Amino acid sequence: MARPTPHHPLFDRLFRQAVTVDLGTANTLIYTDDGGIVLNQPSVVCFEKDQSSGPKRVAAVGAEARQLLGRAPRNLEAVRPMRHGVIANFSAAEHMIRQFVDMARPRQLFSRRAAFTLCVPAGATQVERRAITEAAVSAGAWKVNLIGESLASAVGAGLPVAEATGSMVVDIGGGTTEVGVLTLGGTAYSGSIRVGGDAFDMAIVSYVRNLYGVLLGEQTAEHVKKNIGTAVRDVPAEHMNATGRSVDDGLPRTVQLSNHDVADAIEGPLRQVIGAVKRGLEMAPPELVTDIAHNGIVLTGGGALLANLERRLTHEIGLEVRVADEPLTCAVRGAGAAAASGLLDEFACQ
Ligand SMILES: Nc1ncnc2c1ncn2[C@@H]1O[C@H](COP(=O)(O)OP(=O)(O)OP(=O)(O)O)[C@@H](O)[C@H]1O
Ligand SMILES: [Mg+2]
């Protein structure tokens, strides 16, 4: 059988397949039309430290590398290449994307030379947009489209973005919170703050250090947040133990934390998220605000899973707030659907 050539229809099918990548601060997801979500891994890469200044070798990536965060032996270095939704360490991001694309490929017949659609936060600068584009090109993309995370998340959450009505989506990721108001397939308002789940974890770390003199690791703090975190205080008490290092003598110490402690700890970043949502309502055109008052607000991103967040926002803002189905995968599914429907052309920056 003749091999597919660049002019053969099979070529487009196999080698020009559209691939959508959500390169998030916490998690990277890859989606294809045929295969759905073909990769879902923590955005972490682990290098073997080289004595010479030669190129570093990737020792692990994704979930395997994440386990080494904060506990890597001396010859290894675990890195999170993304901060606040944008690339903070270009070379690490490049290695990570390349590995992820290779991991996703065997299951899905797309070549590295596929057209890539990437989600970016609204607040990303031109330099940051160029960096992510270059990282994708270096991973093999022959063409790169960028899509705003808000639009992608709104499409993924099933909001009627193409209709003549205003929809508000709030995507709370690891490093950013994006507030978007969408209408007629366009973005009427988008705002992004550099506060997300990471800031909640850090707030728990500093609360426990100040109150109990115990330094928790970031992953332990995240575990506490996911287990007993709550955005409101008027809930029955729940407790869990967390072990860290005493700041006095450096020895391990276990403290018992309550969900009320955690609510107090995260109040600061939570207020910033609430402030960003209020600002979105203030800045959006009045007619669209009327629509949002009618349609309510939808939460996406992993941060939307914080217990009682929708209740707290409803209380603060006075509008109906709900969490999207599968909030962690909304952005990548939505970006893939937007790319397939042509919605993207209007928003493509490149
Ligand atoms: N059950 C939960 N309760 C609270 N937070 C959660 C829960 N599950 C996940 N998270 C938080 O969600 C965040 C990750 O969400 P997500 O994968 O949407 O981020 P991201 O897309 O990688 O980041 P960004 O969009 O900011 O670049 C992490 O901070 C994680 O701790
Ligand atoms: Mg995200």
Note whether residue 63 is domain-resident.
no
Distance between Cα 194 and ligand 2 center (Å): 12
Whole-number pLDDT of residue 1: 47
Note whether residue 166 is domain-resident.
yes
Q: Annotate 219-269 with DSSP letters as a single string.
A: HHHHHHHHHH-BS-S-S---EEEEEEEETTT--EEEEEEEHHHHHHHTHHH
Whole-number pLDDT of residue 350: 36
One domain for residues 117 and 232: no
Note whether residue 28 is domain-resident.
yes
One domain for residues 102 and 233: no
Q: Annotate 11-68 with DSSP letters as a single string.
A: HHHHHS-EEEEEE-SSEEEEEETTTEEEEEEES-EEEE--SSSSPPEEEEETHHHHTT
Whole-number pLDDT of residue 107: 56
One domain for residues 104 and 119: yes
56-73: pLDDT as tens digits: 799 999 999 999 998 888
Whole-number pLDDT of residue 105: 77
- Whole-angstrom Cα distance, residue 173 to residue 180? 14
Q: Are 334 and 155 in contact (CB under 8 A)?
A: yes
- How wide is the angle at C-alpha 223 spanned by C-alphas 25 and 194, nearest 5°? 30
Whole-number pLDDT of residue 108: 56
Note whether residue 61 is domain-resident.
no
pTM of the model: 0.92
* CATH number of the CATH domain containing 94: 3.30.420.40
Residues 6+ apart with CB under 8 A from 218: 69, 70, 198, 201, 202, 205
- Whole-angstrom Cα distance, residue 149 to residue 191? 11
**Does the structure show a pLDDT above 50 at 347?**
no
Whole-number pLDDT of residue 15: 52
Mean pLDDT for the stretch of residues 224-249: 98
**Does the structure show a pLDDT above 60 at 103?**
yes
Note whether residue 240 is domain-resident.
yes
- Dihedral sign from CA coordinates of 77, 81, 83, 85: negative
**Does the structure show a pLDDT above 50 at 334?**
yes
Confidence of residue 104 (pLDDT cuts 50, 70, 90): confident
Whole-number pLDDT of residue 51: 67
One domain for residues 144 and 117: yes
Of 227, 243, 266, which residue constitutes the final position of a domain?
Answer: 266
**Does the structure show a pLDDT above 50 at 348?**
no
Which range has the worst mean pLDDT, 41-55, 133-147, 266-280, 292-306?
41-55
**Does the structure show a pLDDT above 80 at 313?**
yes
Minimal-distance CA residue to ligand 1 atom 15:
302
* Binding-site residue set for ATP: 25-27, 174-176, 222-225, 302-305
Choice from 21, 328, 329 to test ligand 1 binding pocket (greatest atom count within 8 A of CB) = 328
Cβ(244) to ligand 1 under 6 A?
no
12-55: pLDDT as tens digits: 555 557 899 999 999 999 999 888 999 999 999 999 987 666 66
Whole-number pLDDT of residue 346: 45
One domain for residues 108 and 144: yes
Choice from 21, 22, 23, 27 to test ligand 1 binding pocket (greatest atom count within 8 A of CB) = 27
Count the domains in the chain. 3
**Does the structure show a pLDDT above 90 at 254?**
yes
One domain for residues 276 and 243: no
- Whole-angstrom Cα distance, residue 76 to residue 66? 12
One domain for residues 237 and 181: no
Please state the atom number of ligand 1 nearest to the C-alpha of residue 307.
Answer: 3
Distance between Cα 14 and ligand 1 center (Å): 33
One domain for residues 292 and 187: yes
Choice from 120, 151, 225, 329 to test ligand 1 binding pocket (greatest atom count within 8 A of CB) = 225
The percent of residues in the chain predicted with pLDDT above 90, rounded, is: 79
| Nearest ligand (C-alpha, residue 306) | 1
One domain for residues 213 and 255: yes
One domain for residues 189 and 226: no
**Does the structure show a pLDDT above 70 at 156?**
yes
One domain for residues 106 and 229: no
Note whether residue 7 is domain-resident.
no
Q: Are 292 and 319 in contact (CB under 8 A)?
A: yes
Nearest 10 degrees: CA dihedral of 46, 47, 49, 55? -170
Cβ(17) to ligand 1 under 6 A?
no
Q: Which range marks the domain in which residue 220 is found?
A: 197-266
Note whether residue 22 is domain-resident.
yes
Average pLDDT, rounded, for the chain: 91
Distance between Cα 40 and ligand 2 center (Å): 12
- Dihedral sign from CA coordinates of 93, 114, 177, 232: negative
Note whether residue 287 is domain-resident.
yes
3-class state of residue 170 by DSSP: strand
Of 12 and 142, the one with more pLDDT: 142
**Does the structure show a pLDDT above 80 at 110?**
no
**Does the structure show a pLDDT above 90 at 175?**
yes
One domain for residues 256 and 203: yes
